[in-house]
Structure 1
Amino acid sequence: MAREHLEKLSGELGFELDVVDVDEHALRDPELREEFGDRLPVVLLNGVEHSYGSVDEQRLRADLAM
């Protein structure tokens, strides 16, 4: 659900969306699961955690406008 929401916003706002499947990636990098495992889905903005659980669209729009 979060991915679909972000894909829609990406098209509208013109940002690049990079999706990482934590379960799949954790096979190669178990630390990723340890870092984000209990907060999925996680939205990172420029490598910094922006929100988790769901997309905070209002906050994301404001932060992208900066």
Structure 2
Amino acid sequence: MSSAVSPQIVLYTRQGCHLCDDAEVLVRKFVSDITLVDIDNDPELTQKFNTCVPVVEINGKVRFRGKVSPMLLKRTLAAEAKQATGRTS
């Protein structure tokens, strides 16, 4: 994947969540710079995402809840990169 523009990725997780661990490993295969947020440290996030973790947010949009599909993640990141290279700043 081209590193011209790196997407902003936030991975909402919680301790003891094996799907969260799996999601982190998978996301890091494509993007090394991600932000991890433990929802249990924020009551608002706990209420919002409670049993839906992991939640993957890409460029401010929630793209995955629960199990993350490798193929869909790859396609989503490619689409985000394509869209970003078409933008002018």
Same fold by TM-score greater than 0.5: yes
The share of aligned pairs that are identical, in percent, is: 33
Q: How many residues align?
A: 58
Correspondence for 2:29: 8
- RMSD over aligned CA atoms reads 1.5
| 2:38 is aligned with 1:21 | yes
Normalised to the residue count of structure 2, the TM-score between the two structures is 0.56
4+ long deviations beyond 4 Å: none
Shift of 1:9: 2.3
Return 5+ residue gaps in structure 1 as ranges. Answer: none
Distance, in Å, in 2 between the alignment partners of 1:20 and 1:59 is: 22
Return 5+ residue gaps in structure 2 as ranges. Answer: 1-21, 80-89
Shift of 1:35: 0.7
- Which has the larger helix fraction? 1
Normalised to the residue count of structure 1, the TM-score between the two structures is 0.71
Residue type at the aligned position of 1:2: A
- Which has the larger strand fraction? 2
